[in-house]
């Protein structure tokens, strides 16, 4: 079995996890399978290869890339996936329709499967070890690039609310500098769906220089950043089912962050009191007193 795949990993999940590393001939097959999940369950290997514009040899390599011993095992997995509780539909036909309700249901199903697949990975991960690292850390730094920067800042805010010191810089250069001020008592948490970023590699190298622990939340545990990290929390992002080459979803990463937040909250003796103080500090901003007066007179 291919490293990183659990026995119950769906065919779709395997394709999405390996897609970026597939050669073009195998990507043709991957694109066809993702676009026609219902049809391929009844097709032979040769039919899939021809319909996708690829070759029988590429189909054989594609099966191996997904971690299957042969097409028979792939067919069994397709049959199993077809009987799963989550509905699988042809994405091309879904988005060509004018029925908004069907599109909403399809996107919801994809998002739910993202979370379900991520949860499966977390159950076999070192999540509890990560929680302990943050609990015992002097400081936890969250770092990302692109749209992951705002996710990192949001993560730091949530962790701080539970009573543990956390921060996130607004630039990767800032993260690199702050990483140099860490110590063996501190933790660096990287947020990167792809697991590839030269700027984040620099952040990790600086953290390693001072002996800080490094955790990464990513889809790609065998990526460069995944290999550099001490602990990998694997996610499963299904953007390609919705928008092909547009990477936008932070859904699985936010799930991991919120799970860590909940676990930290219930392990903290100060979280409840801090939440009360935070609400008091925000009282004037929300102007709850006026809301109450308005409700009372209405």
Residue 290's CB: how many other CB atoms inside 10 A? 9
pLDDT over 80 (residue 201): yes
- Alpha carbon separation from 275 to 41, 141, 158, 159, 257 (Å, rounded): 51, 21, 11, 12, 18
For residue 243, give both structure tokens: 């928008």
For residue 116, give both structure tokens: 């379900």
Residue 232 in contact with residue 226, Cβ under 8 Å? yes
Of residues 289 and 38, more confidence is placed in 38
pLDDT over 50 (residue 295): no
User: Which of 233, 203, 197 lies closest to 215 in space, CA to CA?
Assistant: 233
Rounded CA separation 249/252 (Å): 8
pLDDT for 143-174, tens place per residue? 999 989 999 999 999 999 898 999 999 999 99
pLDDT for 233-283, tens place per residue? 999 998 888 887 788 889 999 999 999 999 999 988 887 888 788 777 777
* Strand order through the sheet with 140-143: 166-168, 140-143, 187-191, 213-218, 231-234
- The DSSP-derived string for 43-97 is --HHHHHHHHT--HHHHHHHHHHTT-SSHHHHHHHHHHHHTSSS----HHHHHTS
Mean pLDDT of 216-227: 93
- What is the pLDDT of the chain when averaged over all its residues? 86
pLDDT over 90 (residue 226): yes
- pLDDT > 90 in the chain, percent: 54
pLDDT for 48-102, tens place per residue? 999 999 999 999 999 999 988 889 888 888 877 764 444 445 566 677 765 788 8
pLDDT of res. 2: 47
pLDDT of res. 87: 44
Rounded CA separation 19/238 (Å): 11
pLDDT of res. 1: 39
pLDDT of res. 155: 97
pLDDT of res. 284: 66
């Amino acid at each position: 079995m291919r490293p990183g795949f659990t026995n119950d990993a769906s065919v779709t999940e395997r394709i999405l996890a390996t897609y970026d590393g597939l050669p073009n001939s195998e990507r043709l097959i991957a694109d066809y399978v993702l676009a026609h999940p219902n049809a391929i369950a009844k097709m032979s290997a040769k039919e899939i290869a021809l319909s996708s514009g690829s070759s029988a040899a590429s189909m054989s390599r594609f099966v191996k890339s997904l971690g299957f011993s042969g097409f028979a095992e792939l067919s069994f997995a397709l049959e199993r996936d077809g009987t799963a509780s989550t509905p699988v539909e042809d994405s091309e036909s879904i988005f060509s329709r004018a029925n908004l309700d069907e599109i909403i249901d399809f996107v919801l199903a994809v998002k739910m499967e993202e979370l379900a697949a991520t949860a499966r990975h977390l159950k076999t991960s070192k999540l509890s070890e990560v929680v302990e690292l943050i609990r015992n850390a002097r400081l936890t730094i969250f770092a990302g690039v692109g749209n992951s920067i705002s996710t990192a800042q949001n993560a730091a805010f949530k962790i701080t609310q539970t009573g543990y010191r956390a921060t996130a810089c607004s630039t990767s250069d800032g993260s690199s500098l702050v990483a140099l001020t860490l110590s063996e008592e501190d933790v660096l948490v990287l947020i990167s769906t792809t697991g590839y970023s030269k700027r984040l590699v620099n952040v990790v190298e600086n953290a390693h220089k001072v002996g800080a622990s490094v955790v990464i939340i990513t889809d790609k545990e065998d990526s460069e950043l995944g290999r550099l990290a001490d602990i990998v929390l694997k996610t499963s992002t299904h953007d390609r089912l919705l928008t092909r080459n547009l990477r936008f979803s932070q859904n699985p990463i936010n799930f991991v962050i919120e799970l860590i937040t909940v676990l930290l909250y219930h392990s903290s003796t100060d979280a409840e009191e801090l939440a009360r103080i935070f609400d008091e500090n925000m009282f004037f901003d929300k102007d709850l007193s006026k809301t109450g007066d308005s409700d009372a007179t209405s």
